[in-house]
Amino acid sequence: MTAIDPRELRNACGQFGTGVTIITTHCEGRDHGMTANAFMSVSLDPPLVAISIARSARMLSNIQKTSRFAVSVLAEGMEDLAWHFAGKPRLDLCDVFERRNDLPVIANAAAYFVTDLASEIVAGDHTIFLGHVREMSLEQDKRPLLFFRGRFGGLADPHPAPALLENAGYEFIW
């Protein structure tokens, strides 16, 4: 069996376009945030979302200490925030957070989820955190910031979802 080159794996995964999020928590009197695209919905009942954090990230221990985290889905035009929380700080950014249920979320985000930690799973060099959603909000008029092949972008021409055919024998799994 051939060994998988980590850089090639990262490049292949970059073929999957994603949204861009900022993961936040409040620990030891300070707000902490990091940019991530490893986010997904897990369950509607109970309401669960998942994030994946590298073992080397400072955010990992902050979430473990607080047992809480928030996820803000960035909207188009928020690239500066994405870079800021990815380790390329912009000193001119201020007042980027709003408080929700005592956690920081990004002001004017397309959506946010405030969670309590439900479970954590060690997965190789990352930990997957399942968060039980306690509060959320969405701004339906905002379009998401997207990430593809290491670059930010947006929806060129969003198409509405097709009308669902009732009783047509199709099963959709969400």
Give me the CATH number covering residue 83: 2.30.110.10
> Is residue 13 within 8 Å of 26, Cβ to Cβ?
no
Q: What digits encode the pLDDT tens for the residues 91-116? A: 888 889 999 999 999 999 999 999 99
pLDDT tens profile 135-157: 999 999 999 999 988 888 888 77
Q: Is residue 58 part of a domain?
A: yes
In a domain, 155, yes or no: no
pTM: 0.86
Give how many domains the chain has, as a whole number: 1
Instruction: Output the DSSP codes for 62-115.
Output: HHHHHSEEEEEEPBTT-HHHHHHTTT---TT----EEEETTEEEETT-SEEEEE
pLDDT for 89: 85
Mean pLDDT value of segment 40-53: 97
Residue 75 resides in a domain: yes
Looking at residue 168, its pLDDT comes to: 54
Q: Is residue 157 part of a domain?
A: no
Residue 167 lies in a domain: no
CA distances from 157 to 24, 79, 143, 146 (A): 31, 19, 11, 13
Name the residue range of residue 101's domain. Answer: 6-150
Would you say residue 163 lies in a domain?
no
Identify whether 160 is part of a domain. Answer: no
Instruction: Please give the pLDDT value at position 94.
Output: 80
Q: What does the mean pLDDT of the chain come to?
A: 90
In a domain, 97, yes or no: yes
